[in-house]
């Protein structure tokens, strides 16, 4: 399967701990996106990369959140000092690039902060 993969699929952590999620996009896709989805809502944009460059960050992405895509391939999303309000599904998507913006989504990482 050559789709978008995310790890871990589930993460339970205690408030105040740091967590890191990984996303592996479809090979050769230039763009990579992170979203957050809570129950009953549509995905909310967090940030996206064109190759290794982070082009935009949502205001939702507080200082506790950071994302990287160091070599333009996989990406990591880190949340520091987690809060209960961070509990959500974190989705990653990739798209081919400049002329085509359909996004292909991974299965998500479900974060539960206790």
Partner 1 sequence: AQSVTQLDSHVSVSEGTPVLLRCNYSSSYSPSLFWYVQHPNKGLQLLLKYTSAATLVKGINGFEAEFKKSETSFHLTKPSAHMSDAAEYFCVVSNSPLNTNAGKSTFGDGTTLTVKP
Q: Which stretch binds partner 1 (CB under 8 A): 17-25, 63-71, 76-84, 94-102?
A: 94-102
Contact 87, 111 (CB under 8 A): yes
Rounded Cα distance between 48 and 77, Å, is: 11
Largest CA distance in the chain: 42
Extract the tokens encoding 37: 């989805």
Contact between 98 and partner 1 by CB under 8 A: the answer reads yes
In angstroms, the first-to-last Cα distance of the chain is: 33
Residue entry with tokens 């190759």: 51
34 or 82, CB closer to partner 1?
Answer: 34
Rounded to whole angstroms, how far apart are CA atoms 46 and 66? 10
Q: Which stretch binds partner 1 (CB under 8 A): 20-28, 60-68, 78-86, 105-113?
A: 105-113
Site residues for partner 1, 33-92, by CB under 8 A, read 33, 35, 40-45, 48, 50, 55-56, 91
- 108: contact with partner 1 by CB under 8 A: yes
Tell whether residue 109 is a contact of partner 1 (CB under 8 A): no
| Interacting residue ranges for partner 1, rule: CB under 8 A | 31, 33, 35, 40-45, 48, 50, 55-56, 91, 93, 95, 98-108
């Amino acid at each position: 399967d050559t789709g978008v993969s995310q790890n871990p699929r589930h993460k339970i952590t205690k408030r105040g701990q740091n967590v890191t999620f990984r996303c592996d996009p479809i090979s050769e896709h230039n763009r990579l996106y992170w979203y957050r989805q809570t129950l009953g809502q549509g995905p909310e944009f967090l940030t996206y990369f064109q190759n290794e460059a982070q082009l935009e960050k949502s205001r939702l992405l507080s200082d506790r959140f950071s994302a990287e895509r160091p070599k333009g391939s996989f990406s990591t999303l880190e949340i520091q000092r987690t809060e209960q309000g961070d509990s959500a599904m974190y989705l990653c998507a990739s798209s081919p690039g400049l002329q085509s913006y359909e996004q292909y989504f991974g299965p998500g990482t479900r974060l539960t902060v206790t």
